Structure 1
Amino acid sequence: MASEGAEYDRTRGAGDTAEATGEGGRETAAPPDPKIAAAVAAAEAAGPQHGETVRIDSWIWSVRLVKTRSLGATACRGGHVRVNGERVKPAHSVRVGDEVRLRHEGRERVVVVKRLIRKRVGAPVAAQCYID
């Protein structure tokens, strides 16, 4: 019986060590701030499911390229937003890998979609959703 208890403790201890190592490995790959990691997880959970898309006006607002979604829609209607080189309407669906060009406040931003989100997120999380 004593050996069974020792074996159980050894197994349990090894599991704890593996979990700590795994968690440490994740921390180096993920942002170091736990608040940012939690926000990224929440954004992914609220994002579209596999195969779904997001409206361009909603996406540029979510990743903080414009202040409001209505400003994003107005920019699309005015021809200031291009996806893969073509002018788009506010309801155009954006996908991962699309190139988005936005002329806003006297400058042009060119970003490549890296992650689709629907809800507005903080700046550190938003920066992980596109390649500038």
Structure 2
Amino acid sequence: MSDGIRIGHLFPIKTTPLQLDKSVKGSIGRIPQSTEFRDLLESKVLKFSHHAEVRMEQRGITLQPESLSQIMKAVDDAASKGAKDSLIVMKDLAMIVNVPSRTVVTAMDGKQMQSNVFTKIDSAIILS
């Protein structure tokens, strides 16, 4: 019972941990630069610019998970139509979103929406 347990006893492997695959030898010390996962993750995330975060805090705007998922779906729809900068209106909330980067540029509540002119947008999405 004084025998120690070695890794090979629990999980038999045919090569030692220090042996490298030929395809990996040239990249020792480097992390693989596969951007597919990062691109996929970023394509599904909605980001908020610093300006938008400040405006939302100043105006007391908070988003519930359901609202956030509706907005994300709206951004997906806008992207599928080729939109670049979209106005998304939802109840008493309006946001301008840069669609390619999936970034909320600014946000306003009902009071600011009523007497506002929206410029530099190419599409509008009205959510119920």
Global fold match (TM > 0.5): no
Q: Give the TM-score taking structure 1 as reference length.
A: 0.29
Larger radius of gyration, structure 1 or 2? 2
More helix, by proportion: 1
